[in-house]
Amino acid sequence: MNEAIAEAAAVRRVDWEHLIQQERVHGSMYTDPQIFQEELRKIWRRTWVYVGHVSEVPDPHDFVMKSIGPDPILMTRDKDGRIHLLHNRCPHRGKQVCEEPRGNARTLTCSYHGWNFGIDGKLRGYPFPSGYAEDRRKDLGLGRVPRIGIYKGFVFGSLAAEGPSLEEHLGGAREAIDALCRTSPEGEVELTAGFLQHKVMANWKFVVENETDGYHPSFTHASIFEVADSKIGSLYSGESTALARYLGNGHSEVDLRPEFRRRDVPMSWFGTTADKLPDYTRRMEAAYGPDKAREIMIDGTPHIMIFPNLFIAEIQLFVIQPLSVDETVQHVTALQFKGAPDLNRRMRQQTMGSVGPAGFLLADDAEMYERSHLGVQELNPEWVFLGRGTHREQRDADGYVVGNVTDEVPSRGMWQFHRSLMEAN
């Protein structure tokens, strides 16, 4: 065996402790294709990954194409209302079975040899059955995501048969989802506005880190803060009382509530006032009573990154999908609150303005991750420095690490969790 083959055959041992340190991360963590392959195995195909929301398949026999990492996943609802996560691959010869991005169908038929599947993934039949000595239908359904978990309508899948439960994985992030749902007069979120798909030529972790990076908005988004009547900028200033928090298991949030409570104006989180949304205000007061409604409408919705791929940003929901070491798609839609038509309309309008390939905010974020991705290929210095705020971070009453909104508490936490996943076999 020659040397090159021997090298390729050897199991590469990566010194994660060296590459991921407390205050710095090696640039190759974003650029090395082998590390990306190992992340697919140890993160994307092992932990809980957000797939979709039950409102995207509201009726029996609905289906929609989703993904777990680069892998396409079909989310379906069967005739009894159960949600299924299926691999879109015919067990016969591998062809994708479903070719429509979404729809409603009692069965799916593979166009190659006519194998026919129920929307629950079971093989119903194949043509010319006498070609098989015995009935093989029972063994040959569509591949199934081994574990599926649903929290308040948010559907997660895990490609590993065993591991922590979804509730354990979500941990402190559950409260943020609860708070999000509470902002609806009916206690439910819906995703009914369709997705924009924005591709960036950058590693997925640059996107994850940016979501709860409160240091960049004042600079990256200076252009839109300057020309639009936006009060977002001051939330991320050095004087802001907002906090950056690491919630464990890779999840992090920017907690803007201290600032909103200081302002003490209902709907300030949405850049408006309650009297401009009379219908929503009335419905919230009817649902929760005036005092609780006021409290909810001051606190607003969370700004949370649920590792590895779900970002809830006040009025939007992003799904981060890695395609390769340097290609990532951000799928984004406006959050819609059940029973809040006037608020929903404005959330759609603001979402269209700010995100997607041409958005006032996201086009500039994307530019930054792409430039960072190019930058880290330089090896002097080799490291990305994440030390902002180490001298002033603290534990809050719940035991989570918190810092100033501009501090790198979220990135440091995410990387330590990342390392723990990568160190596992």
Partner 1 sequence: MGAADHLMTTGLAEVVRHHEISQFLFREARLQDEHRYEEWERLWTDDAIYWVPANGEGGDPEQVMSIIYDNRSRIGVRVRQFLTGKRFSQTPTSRLRRVIGNVEVLGEDGDEVRVGANMLVYESHRRGQVTWAARNQYLLRRTPDGWRMARKQVNLVNNDTSLVTLSFLI
Q: With b meaning 16 or more CB within 10 Å and e meaning fewer, what string describes 85-117?
A: bbbbbbbbeeebbbeeeeeeeeebbbeeeebbb
165 vs 349, which CB is nearer to partner 1?
A: 349
47 vs 203, which CB is nearer to partner 1?
A: 203
21 vs 350, which CB is nearer to partner 1?
A: 350
How far apart are the C-alpha atoms of 40 and 164, rounded to whole Å? 18
Instruction: Provide, rounded to whole angstroms, the least separation between the CB of residue 224 and partner 1.
Output: 6
**CA dist list (Å): 120 to 77, 82, 124, 154, 289:** 7, 8, 10, 19, 42
220 vs 390, which CB is nearer to partner 1?
A: 220
Could you tell me which residues come within 8 angstroms of residue 409 by beta carbon, excluding any fewer than 6 positions away?
244, 245, 246, 252, 389, 393, 401, 402, 403
101 vs 387, which CB is nearer to partner 1?
A: 101
Ramachandran region of residue 264, left (φ > 0), alpha (ψ -120 to 50) or beta?
A: left
Q: Extract the tokens encoding 425.
A: 């076999």
112 vs 219, which CB is nearer to partner 1?
A: 219
For 134, other C-beta atoms within 10 Å of its C-beta total 7
Q: Extract the tokens encoding 374.
A: 């190019």
33 vs 101, which CB is nearer to partner 1?
A: 101
Place of tokens 């609780």: 292
260 vs 360, which CB is nearer to partner 1?
A: 360
Instruction: Provide, rounded to whole angstroms, the least separation between the CB of residue 330 and partner 1.
Output: 8
Q: Extract the tokens encoding 86.
A: 């299926």
For 165-220, list the strands marked E by DSSP.
Answer: 189-190, 196-200
How far apart are the C-alpha atoms of 213 and 389, rounded to whole Å? 12
Contacts by 72-78, CB closer than 8 A, 24 or more apart: 72/96, 73/145, 73/157, 74/98, 74/142, 75/51, 75/155, 76/119, 76/120, 76/121, 77/119, 78/118, 78/119, 78/120
Place of tokens 């359904």: 141
135 vs 367, which CB is nearer to partner 1?
A: 367
48 vs 270, which CB is nearer to partner 1?
A: 270
Structural contact between residues 81 and 87, judged by C-beta atoms closer than 8 angstroms: no
Instruction: Provide, rounded to whole angstroms, the least separation between the CB of residue 199 and partner 1.
Output: 4
Instruction: Provide, rounded to whole angstroms, the least separation between the CB of residue 65 and partner 1.
Output: 12
150 vs 374, which CB is nearer to partner 1?
A: 374
**Both ends of the chain: CA-CA distance in Å?**
27
Instruction: Provide, rounded to whole angstroms, the least separation between the CB of residue 376 and partner 1.
Output: 15
Ramachandran region of residue 219, left (φ > 0), alpha (ψ -120 to 50) or beta?
A: alpha
How far apart are the C-alpha atoms of 300 and 256, rounded to whole Å? 9
Contact positions vs partner 1 (CB under 8 A): 101, 193-201, 220, 222-224, 226-228, 329, 332-334, 345, 348-349, 351-353, 356-358, 360, 363-364, 366-368, 370-371, 374
Instruction: Provide, rounded to whole angstroms, the least separation between the CB of residue 66 and partner 1.
Output: 14
Local structure of 2: helix, strand or coil = coil
For 54-104, list the strands marked E by DSSP.
Answer: 62-68, 71-77, 83-87, 102-104
Q: Extract the tokens encoding 32.
A: 């090395």
